[in-house]
């Protein structure tokens, strides 16, 4: 999706660099804190009440989100991903997307969803200007899938959502699977087998120590190299070049031409040096790292309009030094992390 020709594009020179020389290229924006699932690695049901996040008192309005995205775009952000909680629970999301799609400088709007509500919304999302969809799916076996969603998900709904998305014209649909040893690592080969040759790209994500409530331990992380070897033993693989600098997934093609598979290895091979990503929670807090403890409240600046917002973000970004993933094991690394469901992955 391209900006209309009548808008002037923000210059790349306007983009601030952080203390490690990294520009701001990418924004992950949560549009809602609530979720209809309770995946144990993200929002365990015994820690997060069912009605969590449905109170919209502090949630940014569509006007505020549009101001925010305009400000970020003027700083050089050109890739936007909407997330949550579950973003498809946000009412009138296609209307928001339509407004964002007109913002100059934005050349990619994507969505990460659990897919449960996608079948009914795929066409409206596409028509509004959404460019790409990522669907999270941690198992193909229906009972295992249900367990992975905290007893809330029906795999049939997600598969119907994928079909509807394809029919609506989404071409490069990614399927994200978080792998936990002893929990769902037996689902890796079935997932590959199910999606090979369909055009969808499955990406396996190492279980991360985000948040405070998922009882993360290193023993439950399956390093990507191990998964890659398991898959390659069955379907030989060939490494592919990254699509662009800073791409977080390493990509492999099936030698037999049946598509590709990806791995996101933020535990075994951290990629902080190339991290150009900011995250904003649904209540307007800016996090400069997935593992940050504290966010920066953007709401006062937002009230002052695009210029004030841009200045505030720039002042935070130019002071950014984070590289938590690379320091995970170092003494003194922060142990207080924002919850994943607040910043959306
Ligand atoms: C927080 S969810 C929000 C969007 C939507 N509800 C979904 O599940 O796609 C975004 C992504 O974060 C991933 N995620 C959540 N907790 C994680 C963890 N501890 N380690 C790795 N990925 C995680 C999810 O699997 C999902 O793909
Ligand atoms: S991973 Fe997504 S679907 Fe699962 S609990 Fe977290 S926000 Fe909800």
Mean pLDDT along residues 154-176:
96
Smallest Cα–Cα separation from 259: which of 243, 241, 244, 237?
237
Percent of the chain with pLDDT over 70: 92
In a domain, 267, yes or no: yes
pLDDT of res. 49:
92
Residue 12 has a pLDDT of 43
Lowest mean pLDDT of 67-81, 109-123, 210-224, name the range: 210-224
Q: In angstroms, what is the span from residue 134 Cα to ligand 2's centroid?
A: 13
- Helix axis angle for 306-317 and 62-74, nearest 10°, is 60
Residue minimizing CA distance to atom 15 of ligand 1 = 42
Q: Which of 28, 84, 138, 158 to mutate to test the pocket of ligand 2 (most atoms within 8 A of CB)?
A: 84
Domain that includes residue 34, residue range = 16-343
**Closest ligand 1 atom to the C-alpha of 206?**
21
Ligand 1 proximity of 112 Cβ (cutoff 6 Å): yes
Does ligand 1 lie within 6 Å of residue 345's CB atom?
A: yes
Model's pTM, two decimal places?
Answer: 0.93
Assigned domain for 11 exists: no
Is the pLDDT at 3 greater than 60? The verdict is no
Q: How far apart are CA 103 and CA 163, in angstroms?
A: 29
**The predicted structure's pLDDT at residue 331:** 45
What's the pLDDT score for residue 31?
98
> Tell me, what CATH number does 53's domain have?
3.20.20.70
What's the pLDDT score for residue 327? Answer: 67
How do residues 127-150 score in pLDDT, each as one tens digit? 999 999 999 999 999 999 999 999
Ligand nearest to the CA of 44: 2
Q: At what angle do helices 118-128 and 93-100 cross, to 10 degrees?
A: 20
pLDDT of residue 30: 97
Confidence grade of residue 290 (pLDDT, cut at 50, 70, 90): confident
* Burial of 5: CB neighbours in 10 Å, binned 0-12, 13-18, 19+: exposed
- Residue from 253, 271, 249 nearest 262 by CA: 249
Total residue length of the chain = 345
pLDDT value of position 246: 67
In a domain, 81, yes or no: yes
- Are 262 and 201 contacting, i.e. CB atoms less than 8 angstroms apart? yes
Token pair, residue 207, equals 């279980």
Grouping H, G, I as helix, E, B as strand and the rest as coil, residue 263 is: strand
Which SS3 state, helix, strand or coil, does residue 280 take?
A: strand
pLDDT in tens, 35-65: 999 999 999 999 999 999 888 888 999 999 9
Are the C-beta atoms of residues 78 and 70 closer than 8 Å to each other? Answer: no
Strand order in the sheet with 201-206: 237-239, 249-254, 260-264, 201-206, 174-179, 132-136, 108-113, 79-83, 26-30, 277-280, 285-287, 296-297
The H or E element containing residue 111 is strand 108-113
In angstroms, the CA 131 to CA 250 distance is 21
| Overall average pLDDT of the 73-79 stretch | 96
Q: What is the pLDDT of residues 19-35, one digit of tens each?
A: 999 999 999 999 999 99
Is residue 8 assigned to a domain? no
155-167 and 118-128 helices cross at what angle (nearest 10)? 30
| Mean predicted lDDT score pLDDT of the chain | 90
User: From ligand 2's centre to the CA of 254, what distance in Å?
Assistant: 29
* pLDDT at residue 7 tops 90: no
What is the average pLDDT across 303-329? Answer: 87
| 300 in a structural domain | yes
CA 37 to ligand 2 center in whole angstroms: 6
Name the residue among 241, 114, 196 with its Cα closest to residue 188.
196
As a whole number of angstroms, the distance between CA 267 and CA 287 comes to 19
Query: 93 in a domain, yes or no?
Result: yes
Residue 206 has pLDDT above 90, yes or no: yes
Q: If 0-12 CB within 10 Å is exposed, 13-18 middle and 19+ buried, where does residue 90 land?
A: buried
**Which ligand 1 atom is at minimum distance from the Cα of 41?**
19
Q: Band of the pLDDT at 6, cuts 50, 70, 90?
A: very low
CA angle 26, 115, 285 (to 5 degrees): 35
Residue 264 belongs to a domain: yes
- How many domains are there within the chain? 1
């Amino acid at each position: 999706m391209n900006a209309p020709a009548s808008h002037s594009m923000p210059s790349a020179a306007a983009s601030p660099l952080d203390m490690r020389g990294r520009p701001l290229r990418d924004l992950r924006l949560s549009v809602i804190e609530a979720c209809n699932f309770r995946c144990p690695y993200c929002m365990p049901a015994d820690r997060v009440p069912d009605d969590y996040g449905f109170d919209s008192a502090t949630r940014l309005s569509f006007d505020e989100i549009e101001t925010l995205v305009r400000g970020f775009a003027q700083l050089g952000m050109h890739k936007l991903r909407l997330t949550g909680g579950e973003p498809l629970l946000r009412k009138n999301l296609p209307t928001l997307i339509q407004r964002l799609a007109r913002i100059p400088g934005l050349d990619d709007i994507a969505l990460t969803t659990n897919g449960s509500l996608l079948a009914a919304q795929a066409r409206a999302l596409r028509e509004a200007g959404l460019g790409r969809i990522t669907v999270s799916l941690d198992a193909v076996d229906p009972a295992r899938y249900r367990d992975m969603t905290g007893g809330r998900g029906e795999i049939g709904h997600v598969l119907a959502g994928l079909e509807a998305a394809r029919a609506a014209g989404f071409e490069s649909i990614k399927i994200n699977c978080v792998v936990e040893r002893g929990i769902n690592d037996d689902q890796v080969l079935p997932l590959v087998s199910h999606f090979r040759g369909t055009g969808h790209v499955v990406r396996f994500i190492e279980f991360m120590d985000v948040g405070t409530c998922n009882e993360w331990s290193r023993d439950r992380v399956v390093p990507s190299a191990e998964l890659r070897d398991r898959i390659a033993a069955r379907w030989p693989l060939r490494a592919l070049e990254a699509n662009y600098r800073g791409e977080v997934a390493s990509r492999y093609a099936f030698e037999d031409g049946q598509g590709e598979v990806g791995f996101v290895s933020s535990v075994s091979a951290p990629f902080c040096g190339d991290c150009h990503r900011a995250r904003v929670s649904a209540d307007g807090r800016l996090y400069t790292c997935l593992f940050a403890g504290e966010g920066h409240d953007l709401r006062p600046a937002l009230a002052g309009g695009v210029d004030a917002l841009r200045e505030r973000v720039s002042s935070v970004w130019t002071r950014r030094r984070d590289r938590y993933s690379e320091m995970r094991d170092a003494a003194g690394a922060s142990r207080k992390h924002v919850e994943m469901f607040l910043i959306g992955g």
